[in-house]
Amino acid sequence: MTAIKFPELEQLERIIEQLGDRAQTEVVEKIQYQDHEFPIHCITLGSTQPDVPVLAFFGGVHGLEKIGSEVILSYMQTISQLLDWDQEFLARLERSRLVFVPLVNPVGVYLGTRCNGNGVDLMRNSPVEGIGATRIFSGHRITPRLPWYRGDESKMEKEAQALCRVVQQHMFNSPLSIALDLHSGFGIQDRLWFPYASRKTPFAFIAETLALKELFDRCYQHHIYRIEPTCQEYMINGDLWDYLFDDFVQRFEAERLFLPLTLEMGSWLWLRKSPMHLFSRHGLFHPLLPHRQQRIFRRHFMLFDFLFRSLLYPEQWTQLKPRQKAAYEKKASGLWYE
């Protein structure tokens, strides 16, 4: 097997070199495709203590939506420079941990395809079955020739298993953790989604999630995000985050808090401004013009910083008294589920 290079992987390797021994880097999986080998890198920064809060970033689950990977790489590049001089940022890392897996599906990013090299949609690949009205785009097992193919139900794809291992290793042992998975392609507005994608049921931390949303709304009154459960927009089979969250709840619900979020960057706005990009392979999911790419790289850093600080100072949204928790649950039910 020979290693293969492509722009996003080369950029990641340059950043890893810049970070040097200030980061811990692990190749969590190697994917073979047509006599080539594609690594999946996991990069961690900060404390190695198990009891610190963790913020993790995942990109490239759908290879065609490579803007997610590029936003994460841009953020990592910024961090590599902050580490040289920003004492406040260094102090943050002493009591927290950042985890990055920018290229979950390296073959898909290389090929410019939604699926992996086996034709499987990784975000339809878990054993979770959707409850309620589902469509073909919800995930199917008809044929890998169609999009949204779920793969072999007896085992998950290597890339999906690698993502799960990273989450279970770095996040499940933490008392408080947030995962942010970056995607693009739905709607004209950027959305911040939380579980569930498979059913219209409030998840275990709905009260804390609403408290976090209201804190974000107060701090950034003019933010661009629509915050809602994924099931508000569509129901899907095989969602990896539903699978991981249910696994977490089964093990740790009363002891720890794990919040998986999906940032869905609305790419239809890019198409409205440049409709001819619809005829490009990447045009529906990726901003093609350089100035538009640069704008997307910048616009989400505020969210990243807010999530980081909310983990360091979580009292406002995690330490809810029973009466507060009940009130938030009732409010969330009316806002999202009725």
Beta-bridge partner residues of 113: none
Using DSSP's 3-state secondary structure scheme, residue 255 falls into coil
Token pair recorded at residue 140? 């199917």
Token pair recorded at residue 256? 């720890």
Residue 56's alpha-carbon distances to 63, 169, 172, 183, 235, in angstroms, are: 19, 12, 12, 15, 24
SS3 content of the chain, % helix, strand, coil (to 5): 45, 20, 40
pLDDT averaged per 10 residues in sequence order, the chain, 338 residues: 88 98 98 96 97 98 94 97 98 98 98 97 97 88 94 96 98 97 84 97 97 98 96 94 97 91 79 52 52 68 97 97 97 95
Q: What is the pLDDT of residue 279?
A: 47
Are the CB atoms for 321 and 314 separated by under 8 Å? Answer: no
What's the rounded Cα separation, in Å, for the pair 25 and 302?
26
Q: What is the pLDDT of residue 133?
A: 77
pTM of structure = 0.93
Give all domains of the chain, ordered by start, each with its CATH number. 2-337 (3.40.630.10)
Distance in angstroms between the alpha carbons of the first and the last residue of the chain: 54
